[in-house]
Structure 1
Amino acid sequence: MSTLSVTRITHSCHLLEIGGLTFLTDPWFTVRPGYYQGEPIALSIAELPRLDGVLISHEHYDHCDLDAFATYRDLDVPLVVPQTVVETALAHGFTDVRPLFPWEQTKIDGVTITAAPGKHGVDEITFVLRAEGDAIYFGGDTLLIPELREIPDRLGPITIALLPTNGLRIVPAGNMQVVMDAEEAAELNAVLKPQLALPHHYAFTKGWLGDRLITHGDKNPEHFRIAAARLAPDTVVRIVEPGTRVEF
């Protein structure tokens, strides 16, 4: 059986190895005023391995840094995206852009990629990658919505789940929540029942002032570990620093 692994790069950007292929999720390799990873970026674009595909959950800069990622050496790499990212990806020179709506699929060699639902401030999809009996769920930065509970019945068991946990809220919009929090991520973890879960999307910061006036989020991934231990005790939770490769 091929290696199944996750390497955190930063935020929601990971390298996923499944079915003998390597995928990148939600590329973010630069910073802008008010958009900071809050943790190191483990690899530069030049240091990335050869990619077999790229998964983009939605159009926000911290998940879809195409101005930077367009310097990647192979613009023929397949990009699997929501419809709202297609025009931007093509404008940056990518030639194999595959839009999906929830529950639609595409295949790259032996890996089936299915878009699952998501909900955020803009159109979002999440993803299930499946190959050789293993599956990885990548949750982008979605809220917990009822449709996500359909994943096990529709798409089968999940081996590894990557889940956002900071419960990000937009202060000027009445403290509106736009990302699932640690407790909600643990609830989804209890539905998916993965063997391994890794939290992400928790270190993000808009800086000292922005974190007080614009956004508010939980930067402690231990809150997810504690909640997951209560709601899904059979799942192993790993909290890893950028650059750490977790092999299943």
Structure 2
Amino acid sequence: MTTTVQRVVHASALIDFAGARILTDPWLSERRGYRPGEPRAVATAADLPPLAGIVISHGHYDHCDLDALASYPDRDVPFAVVRGLAARVRAAGFRRVTELDPWQSTRLGPVEVTAAPALHGVPEVTFVLRHEGRTVFFGADTLRVPALDEVARRFPEIDLALLPINGLRIRPALNRQVVMDARQAAELTAVLRPRLAVPIHYAFTAGRLREATVLKLVRDRPDLYRDAVADLAPDTAVHVLAPGRPLTL
């Protein structure tokens, strides 16, 4: 079975399990203070391929762009989302929504989806996606928390991990960190032991003013993750993917 992954932008990716495509954390527009910082591989929701399902880790705009997603023509595409988000998804016109707490599972077409822990300041989950012997971990934009170590115990053979790396901090909250950084993502990689890893969530820019006063982050440095993985998890091959470039597992 051929499984491929393509980054759309930020933490949004298309994971194709032999034709069963899962879209993660859709972000298909931009607004002031929210710029992707890299070309988007899909211009609009109408340009998306037929999907087996969509997973949404949490309700922040850059991970849950329901206004832009509303132009996707299949209103019956199934969703797996963090608990508390279903009403918003249904309000956008989509009818099939399953809310998940950590370690609960559902199916999106033929793909088994299991929610896993996360910590980000708002309710969030990460996801493990499995189909016909392939296992993908999607890390959304969580912090590196000990609860994620349980993923490795429950899923000891992970083919691919998609992990955020920009180390986002909130300046007015005493620089409180809300997203793991490259070194922390490499430490998690050493625990998960995936064959392949792809860094995500690193090109986003909030603009000069917001980054000077509100947000602190390390931008456009996937090399920091690649180098840290070489040190901490040398058996994992890191692929830095430009949006739209496919990687075959």
**TM category, shorter:** over 0.9
Range with bigger deviation, 147-156 or 30-39: 147-156
Segments of 4+ moved more than 6 angstroms: none
For residues 133 and 191 of structure 1, the distance between their equivalents in structure 2, rounded to whole angstroms, comes to 20
Which string of whole-angstrom CA distances, capped at 9 and with x for unpartnered residues, describes residues 14-47 of structure 1? 0001254101000001111111111111112222
Residues 156 and 192 of structure 2 are in contact (CA less than 8 Å); yes or no, is this contact kept in structure 1?
A: no
- Report matched runs for 1:188-203 at 5 Å: 188-203=188-203
Which string of whole-angstrom CA distances, capped at 9 and with x for unpartnered residues, describes residues 191-229 of structure 1? 110010000000111101111111111111110001000
Which string of whole-angstrom CA distances, capped at 9 and with x for unpartnered residues, describes residues 44-80 of structure 1? 2222110010000000000000011011011110011
Show structure 2 runs of 5+ residues with no match: none
Residue 139 of structure 1 aligns with which residue? 139
* SS of residue matched to 1:84: coil
For residues 235 and 214 of structure 1, the distance between their equivalents in structure 2, rounded to whole angstroms, comes to 35
* SS of residue matched to 2:161: strand
Identical amino acids, percent of aligned pairs:
51
Residues 105 and 112 of structure 2 are in contact (CA less than 8 Å); yes or no, is this contact kept in structure 1?
A: yes
For residues 52 and 199 of structure 2, the distance between their equivalents in structure 1, rounded to whole angstroms, comes to 24
Which string of whole-angstrom CA distances, capped at 9 and with x for unpartnered residues, describes residues 76-134 of structure 1? 10011011211101111110001000000002343211000001020000000111111
- How far off is 1:157 after superposition? 1.4
For residues 92 and 46 of structure 1, the distance between their equivalents in structure 2, rounded to whole angstroms, comes to 15
Residue 31 of structure 1 aligns with which residue? 30
Q: Does 1:43 align with 2:38?
A: no
Residue 15 of structure 2 aligns with which residue? 16
Q: Decide whether aligned partners of structure 1 residues 117 and 19 sit closer, same or farther in structure 2, where only a CA change above 3 A counts.
A: farther
Residue 177 of structure 1 aligns with which residue? 177
Residue 241 of structure 1 aligns with which residue? 242
Residues 59 and 84 of structure 1 are in contact (CA less than 8 Å); yes or no, is this contact kept in structure 2?
A: no
Which string of whole-angstrom CA distances, capped at 9 and with x for unpartnered residues, describes residues 127-173 of structure 1? 00111111000000000111100112123311000000000001111
Normalising by structure 1, report the TM-score: 0.97
Normalising by structure 2, report the TM-score: 0.97
* SS of residue matched to 1:76: coil
For residues 195 and 132 of structure 1, the distance between their equivalents in structure 2, rounded to whole angstroms, comes to 17
Residues 19 and 111 of structure 1 are in contact (CA less than 8 Å); yes or no, is this contact kept in structure 2?
A: no
For residues 42 and 197 of structure 1, the distance between their equivalents in structure 2, rounded to whole angstroms, comes to 20
- Report matched runs for 1:1-150 at 5 Å: 1=1, 3-44=2-43, 45-150=45-150
* SS of residue matched to 1:73: coil
Paired residue total: 247
Residues 144 and 188 of structure 1 are in contact (CA less than 8 Å); yes or no, is this contact kept in structure 2?
A: yes
Residue 223 of structure 1 aligns with which residue? 224
The letter of the residue matching 2:247 is V
Q: CA RMSD in A?
A: 0.9
Residue 165 of structure 1 aligns with which residue? 165
Residues 11 and 201 of structure 1 are in contact (CA less than 8 Å); yes or no, is this contact kept in structure 2?
A: yes
Show structure 1 runs of 5+ residues with no match: none
* SS of residue matched to 2:73: coil
For residues 198 and 101 of structure 1, the distance between their equivalents in structure 2, rounded to whole angstroms, comes to 25
Residues 80 and 98 of structure 1 are in contact (CA less than 8 Å); yes or no, is this contact kept in structure 2?
A: yes
For residues 85 and 13 of structure 2, the distance between their equivalents in structure 1, rounded to whole angstroms, comes to 19
Residues 118 and 125 of structure 2 are in contact (CA less than 8 Å); yes or no, is this contact kept in structure 1?
A: yes
Residue 205 of structure 1 aligns with which residue? 205
* SS of residue matched to 1:15: strand
Residues 169 and 176 of structure 2 are in contact (CA less than 8 Å); yes or no, is this contact kept in structure 1?
A: yes
For residues 17 and 228 of structure 2, the distance between their equivalents in structure 1, rounded to whole angstroms, comes to 28
